[in-house]
Each structure stands twice: as structure tokens, then as C-alpha cells.
Amino acid sequence: MATPRVLVVGIDGVRLDLLPLLDTPHLDGLANAGFLAPVHVDDSTPTMSGPCWTTIVTGVGVAKHGVWGNNFTGNRLGVFPDFTTRLATEHGLRTFAAGGWEPLFLARQGGPVFAAPSRLAYIAPREDSPQAWEECDRSVTAEAVRALSSGEDLDASFVYLGAVDETAHFLGCGPEYRRAIETADRRLGQLLAALRERPDARAEEWTVIAVTDHGHRDEGGHGGRSPLERTAWIAASGPGLTPSTRPDSLHHADVAAHVYAALGIAPDPHWTLDGRPFPTLTPRTA
Ligand SMILES: [Zn+2]
């Protein structure tokens, strides 16, 4: 039987309405093999990176994880850990988290979110600018490609790309922002290629989830409740996911829930996950 494995690629701040206008062949590939569908950030969740990413990787909402903004102080991640930490510490699986946004990976601003993955790669942007974040994302991708294309047993991984969001904050949602989305898609393509290069690729069944946390106003910026800001999306492909199972209603918390399901792990009721696995034609039995 093939070994199930999961890769989640988080691309910060990508507007759903612009995707059809852009050259994003790798996201299109996920959509064609599985689905790409909207997520409406719920009324209780600020449309900010901190709370949205925390919901995505823990599978519980803000009322439980307690991250309401981009300062993570006071969080309840000890009770509601991210999936890379839970799988490594409670299930003996190998996990990996990589990216350049400090509080996700380091004990800064009340972080980290990724408390104890088996392997962690934090690469700091040299300054707060779109160019520096592009360089950071390039290095993060290269590091993740090295880890993923090796023979290492990485059961579940999370790779964070931040340049798209940074570009919108500095320059609005114009041509630079659109180019940044296309660049992020190429990085997704490099990560997908790394999976195909793995020595045991044919003995593995990969679920790949690409997800964004929130949108942006035209002039750049988010945090409010406008449709542009609160519309996010999830794209996924993998066992049981086909265009005919495209979900009608998706929530950010479903990402972590699907990670567990894809690995054949039945959530303990005490985890009180708010998310549910994406619909599949042939549900897995744990
Ligand atoms: Zn964000």
C-alpha cells in the first residue's frame, strides 16, 4: 500500500478574483486534478494573517486558538497545536515547516505557531520590502525543495510564501502584485517537481493543498470585512479528490482536518477540531 504524505503550501494574501486573469499553471493543475474553491473568512475571524494561518494549521477557530491579530501573545496553541507539531509529538511522524514570517516559526511576537515540527527552516527576509520577500521566498522554496526531493520521510509539511502579501501592502494590487502571484505559482511548481523526484515517489500517495489566508483591497490592505478582503481559497489534489467532489462550502479549519484524514488519522474528540476533511468519493477509514 502506498504511503500517504501531505504538503501544504501557504501563499499569503492572494485574491481569488484575479486568478483567472493570471498565468498560474500549477494552481490550475491542482484545480483540474482536484478542486480550487473559495473560502469565506467567517464573521468572527479578523481578515489578518495571524488568525487565519493559525486556523488553517490548527483546524480550530479563533475562539479556541486565541490568535486575534498578528501578535500571537496569549495564544492557546499549547492546547490546540498546529498539525506539524501534533503529528510529530503525538504520532511519531516526521514533519517539516518552512518560511520567513517570524511569529510562525520563532519565539517572536508571541509565536511560534509551528512549535515542534521534526524539522524547521526559518529564513529571514533581509528587510521589509517586496524585493527582500521575493528573495526570502526563493530561499525558502530552495530549502523546501532540498528537503522534499531527498529520500527523507516527511509525512506532512507546510511551506509559507509571503512575497505576494508584502507586494500588495507596498504597491497595491497592480501589475507588481499580479507578477508576484505568478512567481508564487512557479514556486509551487518547483515544490511539486520535488515530490516527483523523490526516490520512493511511486510508493507514495501525495495530497497537495495550496491555500491563502485572506484577500486584499485594490489599494492593498486587509483586516476589514469587505468581500475582497474576506474571500480566500483552497486548492487541493490527492487521493479521493476529484472535480466532481468539489466542496460547496469550505472553511480554513478544514485544511488541518484534511491533513489528518489524508494520513489516515482519526481526530481525537478532545482535539475539538472545527474543520472537516474535504469531501472525497471514497472516504478513508482510519
Ligand atoms: Zn496574510
Query: Above 70 in pLDDT, residue 172?
Result: yes
Query: Above 80 in pLDDT, residue 106?
Result: yes
For ligand 1, a single-atom ion, which residues have Cβ within 5 Å? 12-13, 49, 165, 213
Residue 39's H or E segment, with its range, is strand 35-40
Cα(97)–Cα(87) distance, integer angstroms: 12
Distance from the alpha carbon of residue 286 to the mean position of ligand 1, in angstroms: 33
Distance from the alpha carbon of residue 186 to the mean position of ligand 1, in angstroms: 19
- Neighbouring CB atoms inside 10 A of 7's CB total 24
pLDDT reported for residue 279:
84
Distance from the alpha carbon of residue 78 to the mean position of ligand 1, in angstroms: 22
286 band by pLDDT with thresholds 50, 70 and 90 = very low
Query: Above 50 in pLDDT, residue 75?
Result: yes
Task: Please state, rounded to an integer, the average pLDDT across all residues of the chain.
Answer: 95
Grid coordinates belonging to 36: 480550487
Distance from the alpha carbon of residue 274 to the mean position of ligand 1, in angstroms: 21
Grid coordinates belonging to 169: 501592502
Distance from the alpha carbon of residue 214 to the mean position of ligand 1, in angstroms: 6
Cα(84)–Cα(87) distance, integer angstroms: 5
Helices 163-171 and 175-196 sit at what angle, rounded to 10 degrees? Answer: 180
160 band by pLDDT with thresholds 50, 70 and 90 = very high
Distance from the alpha carbon of residue 12 to the mean position of ligand 1, in angstroms: 5
Count helices and strands in the chain by DSSP H and E runs: 10, 7
Residues 158, 57 contacting (CB under 8 angstroms): yes
Query: Above 50 in pLDDT, residue 283?
Result: no
Task: Tell me which of 42-46, 241-245, 256-260 is least confident.
Answer: 241-245
Residues 212, 13 contacting (CB under 8 angstroms): yes
Distance from the alpha carbon of residue 67 to the mean position of ligand 1, in angstroms: 13
Over the stretch 195-215, which tens digit does the pLDDT of each residue have? Answer: 999 999 899 999 999 999 999
Distance from the alpha carbon of residue 197 to the mean position of ligand 1, in angstroms: 30
Distance from the alpha carbon of residue 151 to the mean position of ligand 1, in angstroms: 32
Query: Above 80 in pLDDT, residue 151?
Result: yes
Q: Write down the pTM of the prediction.
A: 0.97
Distance from the alpha carbon of residue 38 to the mean position of ligand 1, in angstroms: 16
Over the stretch 42-66, which tens digit does the pLDDT of each residue have? Answer: 999 999 999 999 999 999 999 999 9
Average pLDDT score over residue span 173-181: 98
Distance from the alpha carbon of residue 285 to the mean position of ligand 1, in angstroms: 34
Give the CA distances from residue 139 to residues 144, 205, 235, 265, in Å, rounded to whole numbers and listed in that order. 9, 26, 23, 32
Distance from the alpha carbon of residue 281 to the mean position of ligand 1, in angstroms: 32
pLDDT reported for residue 285:
47
pLDDT reported for residue 281:
55
Question: Is residue 78 classed as helix, strand or coil in its secondary structure?
Answer: coil
Distance from the alpha carbon of residue 47 to the mean position of ligand 1, in angstroms: 8
Grid coordinates belonging to 110: 508571541
